[in-house]
Structure 1
Amino acid sequence: MKNSSKISGLLITYNEVNHINQVIENIDFVDEIIVVDSFSTDGTLEKLQAFKHVKVIQRPFKNFADQRNFAIKQATKDWILFIDADERVTKKLKKELLETIKTNIDYVAFMFKRKYFFKQKRIRFCGFQTDKTYRLFKKGFVKYNESKIVHEMPIVTGKSKVLKNDMLHYCFNSSAHYKSKMEHYATLKALELFKKGKKANLFHFYARPLYKFIINYIFRLGFLDGVKGLKICYLSAYGVHYRYKELKKLTR
């Protein structure tokens, strides 16, 4: 397999004014940066315009898989680093990924482990301790499954592996922010279920959220994260309830 170490850095954004400067500066080691923005209204676009080396494309948001696949098509380099605005590549991870794409020519995709932060405080449990996601891959070997419109799943054609070093994920800066994220994801997940012909019932409204809370708070040790852990586990369960509330609306 022909090997090249040129990287396209890709982002999809909507209202990321609090993160956009830091993430663009964080990936200054890539060879091109392309941002696909869903018509942000909070000043994100204005901040992006200050970065003359960044290509910005505005495109309506349909779902995460569709937006990511569109972004991939814009990339011109052999390798793609997909990063969300609230994620950061550490110095150790940067060194590892740059070495990896020069030497691991048998692999086409790499997963990053993520450390989660809530208001700058590390969240060690709540179900996040095993989180990892595809963020680095060779162009032409990965496409996102468009039937999975939230928590999008890449289809990888070839071998993949997990890198050793962690990415940082500043995924929520307040309880209200996390709640709005849960509602957004739940709405998309409800649409996904609706397209599959699923219907909501009492079990989904009460048992599923309770199960989610118990798994994350007790069995996945969310209680060890203190008050923040309680809030996160409650809001994750709330997201499940909201998903089926939205599904019920769709099936009326």
Structure 2
Amino acid sequence: MCKVSVIVITRNEEHNIRECLESIKWADEIVVVDSKSEDKTVEIAKKFTEKVFIKDWEGYGQARNFALLQCRNDWVLWLDADERVTPELKREIEKALQSAGNEIAGFSMPRRACFLGTWIKHCGWYPARVVRLFRKEKAKFSEDKVHEKIIIDGKILRLKSDILHYTDPNLEHYLKKLNTYTSLSAEEYIAQQKDFSIFKLVFNPLWIFVRMYIIKLGFLDGVAGFVLCVLSAYHVFIKYAKLWELSRQLKIKS
């Protein structure tokens, strides 16, 4: 059987990290990169692996690329702290790696999300395929501060079993994350010299809601689906509002 290294990036994940690492304790190696958590995340992680690294936060892409450098195995599985590998996915991974030829660089799998205690089946969230298993020498992460992308050089095959994503157990958690992510996105737009657009501020949030709630059948997910679609539109609105704010501040300074 091919040995697998698993990488997990953490910050203040004491409520998630134990179950996350329990779901991957079968792996040959677990690498945790922590961004100076102020809770018991590191203490819990060290019960599962000796390879726990603490470093300053420089963005998701840089953190994951650092984690890759610490892996000793050819095959790497990337997992977030609020995600779980099911026994079915574990068995499918083991079977897939046994037969993977040299031309295979990675595998994608569907991710099923639990939002506010409800498993989301529509809204464009499921089946949301993500590439999470890959050959180390064939992959790298983009340097984006948020919503980093994995760049794979080679053929990607599809697995059937789900990764489980326990995202946003309550609205307070969602809104805290929204504030962080929208700030990072706005700062990244400024760094990329993207101009503010009143059109995008007004119409992009509306389009997100229409796409998720109507086109992607979010209304079939009940109240949780409606809340998710509204908040997703709000997320986009705040992102562009923050871009406007930063752009205006730069103009005043200049």
TM-score band by shorter chain is: over 0.9
Kept in 2: contact 1:182–1:236 (CA 8 A): no
Q: 1:183 offset after TM fit, Å?
A: 2.5
Equivalent in the alignment of 1:186: 182
Query: Of the candidates 215, 222, 225, which is equivalent to residue 221 of structure 2?
Result: 225
Structure 2 CA distance, aligned partners of 1:236 and 1:130?
A: 18
Structure 1: which 4+ aligned runs deviate by more than 4 Å?
Answer: none
Query: Of the candidates 176, 196, 199, which is equivalent to residue 200 of structure 1?
Result: 196
Equivalent in the alignment of 1:33: 30
Unaligned runs of at least 5 residues, structure 1: none
Equivalent in the alignment of 1:134: 131
TM superposition score normalised by structure 1: 0.93
Equivalent in the alignment of 1:57: 53
Query: Of the candidates 94, 119, 123, which is equivalent to residue 122 of structure 1?
Result: 119
Query: Of the candidates 42, 46, 50, which is equivalent to residue 43 of structure 2?
Result: 46
Secondary structure of 2:220's match?
helix
Structure 1 CA distance, aligned partners of 2:156 and 2:47?
A: 36
Deviation string for 1:71-118 (max 9, x for gaps)?
101111111011111111111111010111111123111112111112
Q: 1:145 offset after TM fit, Å?
A: 1.7
Kept in 2: contact 1:10–1:33 (CA 8 A): yes
Secondary structure of 1:27's match?
coil
Identity of aligned residues (%): 39
Equivalent in the alignment of 2:4: 7
Q: 1:34 offset after TM fit, Å?
A: 0.8
Code of the residue aligned with 2:240 in structure 1: it is: Y
Equivalent in the alignment of 2:161: 165
Query: Of the candidates 65, 68, 71, which is equivalent to residue 64 of structure 2?
Result: 68
1:75-154 pair list within 5 angstroms? 75-105=71-101, 106-146=103-143, 148-154=144-150
Equivalent in the alignment of 2:207: 211
Secondary structure of 2:130's match?
strand
Q: 1:247 offset after TM fit, Å?
A: 1.3
TM superposition score normalised by structure 2: 0.92
Kept in 1: contact 2:123–2:216 (CA 8 A): yes
Kept in 2: contact 1:10–1:35 (CA 8 A): yes
Kept in 2: contact 1:13–1:36 (CA 8 A): yes
Structure 2 CA distance, aligned partners of 1:120 and 1:5?
A: 35
Kept in 2: contact 1:63–1:188 (CA 8 A): no
Code of the residue aligned with 2:216 in structure 1: it is: R
Secondary structure of 1:171's match?
coil
Q: 1:152 offset after TM fit, Å?
A: 1.4
Kept in 1: contact 2:116–2:171 (CA 8 A): no
Equivalent in the alignment of 1:236: 232
Q: 1:8 offset after TM fit, Å?
A: 0.8
Code of the residue aligned with 2:184 in structure 1: it is: L
Equivalent in the alignment of 2:252: none
Q: Does 2:19 correspond to 1:22?
A: yes
Secondary structure of 1:95's match?
helix
Structure 2 CA distance, aligned partners of 1:37 and 1:231?
A: 31
Q: 1:49 offset after TM fit, Å?
A: 3.1
Kept in 1: contact 2:116–2:224 (CA 8 A): no
Kept in 2: contact 1:32–1:54 (CA 8 A): no
Deviation string for 1:149-181 (max 9, x for gaps)?
322111111111221111111111012212222
Unaligned runs of at least 5 residues, structure 2: 250-254
CA RMSD of aligned residues (A): 1.5
**Paired positions, count:** 247
Kept in 2: contact 1:23–1:87 (CA 8 A): yes
